[in-house]
Structure 1
Amino acid sequence: MAMKHGQSALSLAQSTGNNEKQCHVFLHFSFIKCRIDDYTAGQVYAKEAHRLARSMGHLYREALGLCVEADILRGLGNYTRCTLLAERARNLLDMCGLPDSFEGNALKTLLGEIQSHKSQYAEAHSLHNQVAQAAVNDPFPLGISLMNIVDIEVSMGTAKHEIQRKINEAQTISKVIGNIKLSTMCDIVQAGLNLREGDMSTVLFCKCLRASWGNDSELVSQCLERLGDVSCWINGPHESTWSTVLLAHSLKQKEKLGIHKGLQFIGDVFLQENDEVTAISLFTLALQGFTAMDVHRSRAECMIRLGDISEKNGDLLNALELWELARPLFVHSSQTKQIQAIDERMSGVNEDVKEQYQNQVRLVELSVPAGKVTEVEEVDSEIELELDEAEVE
């Protein structure tokens, strides 16, 4: 019905040459398509809104178009381009004198979510804190920001009492304003905290799944990620089917991050069943995806598993290489316990093997062309150039 009325409004705007109204309708269409998880159509409409706004020199609507497309790209796992669009939208809002507006804070939230997906938790925590401080008198965005902060703090290992205080505050807000989504987010994060603290019950997760299924695919993904992560359930019963459900759900929603986490978790299931060949294939495939998306923690987890398998099979040089590659990724994602675990692995390796590995590293470094060190910066510049050219067209 909303699309039907929108089509009528679009036809009228096109017949009268009202580009501003057309831009508004295309943004409306994009929101509708994203709500029903049709991200491809949503992106097309957002691009058209951005094109029209740019042709009019309407900076505010241009920023909105970029913001909507950036959010779509976040859902699809294209974090590099998403960040680029979001930063451009922030610059446009700054030019409009609206850096701390609703839209400005929405962009900070979006950038915080990107950093969180990439497991750059310290950066994400800072952005969500800025939004929470700006929303101190606005209950709903404050509650959402608190839950974003808490979700990060659970992953960073923040003390339970600090996390629980924020959850309680958000739960109070959800009851006062009667918001079901915020209430469900509180339950999901509470279940995640309980799990981290050793409570192996799935009851609260399943309650959240029932509340979210068919209504909010991102909340469904959050539940399934926790239920499907074998490493979280080492000391309790785990249904391996949850990992498969996560993969199926993510494939349907075209969520790249969820797809590769599903592959990683299914790899864990096969590893528990001593099927190392299948596990290696799944970890390698997941690692490729995480590397493309620049997701630090998940990359490191796959490397640790592959390294441990190599160690078990007597290939200590490969194990050392994978462990050393994983360590800085855990540092970037503030994973203190995992860093300590790697150091313990490394300390148990014979000194002769370590020396052999270091010699191998030096040989590789000598064989790398000098230009390779700037490869990442060159790729980033090419992306920006392509975007500029596309906008000019």
Structure 2
Amino acid sequence: MKDVLLIAGFALAGAVCAGLAGALVLRLVRHRSVAVSLAVVAAVTVTAMLAGTLAVAQAMFLSAHDLWVVTVVVAMAALVSLGTALVLGRWVVGRSRALARAARDFGDGGRFSAPDGAATAELAALSRELAATSAKLDASRRRERSLEASRRELVAWISHDLRTPLAGLRAMAEALEDGMADDPARYHRQIRTEVERLTAMVTDLFELSRIHAGALILSPSRMSVYDLVGDALSGADPLAREHGVRLVGEEVAAVPVEVDGKEMTRVLANLLVNAIRHTPADGTVAVAAEHREDAVVLSVTDGCGGIPDEDLTRVFDTGWRGTEARTPPAGAGLGLAIVRGIVEAHAGRAEVRNVPGGCRFEVTLPAAAG
């Protein structure tokens, strides 16, 4: 037993010395290729075995011939180990470089495509993560291009929408100034109407800019959805009467929510105005509210006849007005964008889908606790 402990002690001492030397070498080459590190690890393993063997051999007073035989055996093992480590290292390095080239391609604006061939579990996992990141970046680029196109359309439409009433205001002001107006009172009423229209447009632009800048400050309070919908219906009733549209709000549950009453009233008002303007005379706009699990769903259903499937994803985009015409029926394409911004600021979501005869806008909000 004593001899075994002595042999173990000599072997351990030799292996520890080799291991410490290998750790130092690994630290020095830590910035080099992984092939170098693998070669060092293989060399440390063989050296540790050789050092332990030589220490034990010297302690056991082996003959020179026996010691030489042991050394040759260990040397052959070292050559095989180093060769295997170098081959493995070159393969790993090759896969890493191929992965780096593929990553560089999608970083330059392309899409990531994993290199062909087998890979280690770590490199395969990295490839999957890069592929997922590439998909997210591609979606982000498409979204950015869509937003940029929406911004350009918005600038063009707003410029047109501002220029037309401003030109009319200038003409009416000059007519009044020169005494050429046959009916000054009518001109004054028209001027006031155009000014109110411009004021509403500027207000929408300011609201949208606050939303996009993250400067929308909410003051939530607990209130009933029933009261919220009732106020919105009362505000939209004159416009509905003017267009000959019936407003229905019978299926409204008295569910409590934590929202900013002013901003959420604006959301419902924008949805109702949009629905009324796109519903033909004698049509119906229905408002409903229901409790689903831990959320409250407000819906506005109109009789617009439906939205083309390819446009459903653009309905809430800034500047979208459902037509390519420079002068659409009404609005500057900001109302629904404001709706989405305010709803998302309340940790909710705004959606739209087609239903028989029209479409339904749904606003999902977290239900109030308790």
Tell me whether the two structures share a fold, i.e. TM-score over 0.5: no
Larger radius of gyration: 2
Kindly indicate which of the two structures has a greater share of residues assigned to helix: 1
TM-score (norm 2): 0.24
Kindly indicate which of the two structures has a greater share of residues assigned to strand: 2
